[in-house]
């Protein structure tokens, strides 16, 4: 049962009921890991929820960084959203083609920019299609819309801040990668990275946040999932993963579970795993 909270998660029923609202904007935020097959933009072009615009996570990013899809500068985000007709006064709903996978990254990017009227579609496009709801292959009509943003620096952490948190233990550092990657027995999908995890971090694989149908667990179930991994929800949290996408899924889950004091480590393992002077832990905690 979805929360139908337009600031976190909304159900397919909610979206269908609001589909023709003039101030609703729908985004397809699909993105695939390097090891996955598929072309997110081509799939969007073939079939998307009516009126949806495609949010390209790799393109709407910081092109000055050598790390994958780091958060975009404010100016770039604003210019891309204006061109897509997304601006002030809009309720945004973002979905992806896998259920809930990359859409939370778009949700977090909006939150980082101070925009809170955004929700992830619970169950995403697979649930929408499975329920026989409408799709189209037409590009949406887009008119420029003014957008004002105020970047929320507290929602993102850099490598220095994460290294301090790892040393001091004053944050719960939560890693969304699969357990085999976390303990260092399975290879990383990006070449050249060390294997293992940030010392002191806890492992909550992103798949454990979801029901079998691809919808997110209830707040009570999420709290139990975090507790089972040894996460103290009373402490502030830093979320991480391979490249910052599933870290945002943990952030969304924390928000739904009632912990509002969280930040995403944007560089994630793509950064931490690259530098030999940063300590790496392996094996079980």
Q: Which residues pair with 93 in a beta bridge?
A: 26, 119
DSSP secondary structure of 78-137: HHHHHHTT--TT-EEEEEBTTBSSSHHHHHHHHHHTT---EEEETTHHHHHHHTT---B-
Q: Which residues pair with 118 in a beta bridge?
A: 92
What are the start and end residues of each CATH 3.40.250.10 domain in the chain? Answer: 9-151, 154-272
C-alpha–C-alpha distance, residues 188 and 131, integer Å = 35
Map tokens 């290294």 to a residue. 163
C-alpha–C-alpha distance, residues 24 and 196, integer Å = 42
C-alpha–C-alpha distance, residues 64 and 133, integer Å = 40
Averaged pLDDT for residues 204-232: 97
* Residue-wise pLDDT tens digits, 20-59: 999 999 999 999 987 788 899 999 999 999 999 999 999 9
Residue 284 is predicted with a pLDDT of 82
* Overall fold of domain 154-272: Oxidized Rhodanese; domain 1 (3.40.250)
Beta carbons of 266 and 158 less than 8 angstroms apart: yes
Residue 190 is predicted with a pLDDT of 84
Q: What is the rounded (10 degree) CA torsion for 271, 253, 25, 266? A: -10
| pLDDT band with cut points at 50, 70 and 90 for residue 214 | very high
Q: Among the listed ranges 78-87, 184-193, 221-230, which one has the minimum average pLDDT value?
A: 184-193
User: The whole model's pTM is what?
Assistant: 0.96
Would the pLDDT of 204 be above 90? yes
Strand, coil or helix: 265: strand
Averaged pLDDT for residues 196-203: 97
Residue predicted with more confidence, 139 or 208: 208
Residue predicted with more confidence, 67 or 18: 18
The set of catalytic residues is 241
**% the chain with pLDDT above 70:** 99
CATH code for the domain defined by 9-151: 3.40.250.10
| pLDDT band with cut points at 50, 70 and 90 for residue 2 | low
Would the pLDDT of 1 be above 60? no
C-alpha–C-alpha distance, residues 171 and 62, integer Å = 26
Q: Among the listed ranges 162-171, 177-186, 229-238, 275-284, which one has the minimum average pLDDT value?
A: 275-284
């Amino acid at each position: 049962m979805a929360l139908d909270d337009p600031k976190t998660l909304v159900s397919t029923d909610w979206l269908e009921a609001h589909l023709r609202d003039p101030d609703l904007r729908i985004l397809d935020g699909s993105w695939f890991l390097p090891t996955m097959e598929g072309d997110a933009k081509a799939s969007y072009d073939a079939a998307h929820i009516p009126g949806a615009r495609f949010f390209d996570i790799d393109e709407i990013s910081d092109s000055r960084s050598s790390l994958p899809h780091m958060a975009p500068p404010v100016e770039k985000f604003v210019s891309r959203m204006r061109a897509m007709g997304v601006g002030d006064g809009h309720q945004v709903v973002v979905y992806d083609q896998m259920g809930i996978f990359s859409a939370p990254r778009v949700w977090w990017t909006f939150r980082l920019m101070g925009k809170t009227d955004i929700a992830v579609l619970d169950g995403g496009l697979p649930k929408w299609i499975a329920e026989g709801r409408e799709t189209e292959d037409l590009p949406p009509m887009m008119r420029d819309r003014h957008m004002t943003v105020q970047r929320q620096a507290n929602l993102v952490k850099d490598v220095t801040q994460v290294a301090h948190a790892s040393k001091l233990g004053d944050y719960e550092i939560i890693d969304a990668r699969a357990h085999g990657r976390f303990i260092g027995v399975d290879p990383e999908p990006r070449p050249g990275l060390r294997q293992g995890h940030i010392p002191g971090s806890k492992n909550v694989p992103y798949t454990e946040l979801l029901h079998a149908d691809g919808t997110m667990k209830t707040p009570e179930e999420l709290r139990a999932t975090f507790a089972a991994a040894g996460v103290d929800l009373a402490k502030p949290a830093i979320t991480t993963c391979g490249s910052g996408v599933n870290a945002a899924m943990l952030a969304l889950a924390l928000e739904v579970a009632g912990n509002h004091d969280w930040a995403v480590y944007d560089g994630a393992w793509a950064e931490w795993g690259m530098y030999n002077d940063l300590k790496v832990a392996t094996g079980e905690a």
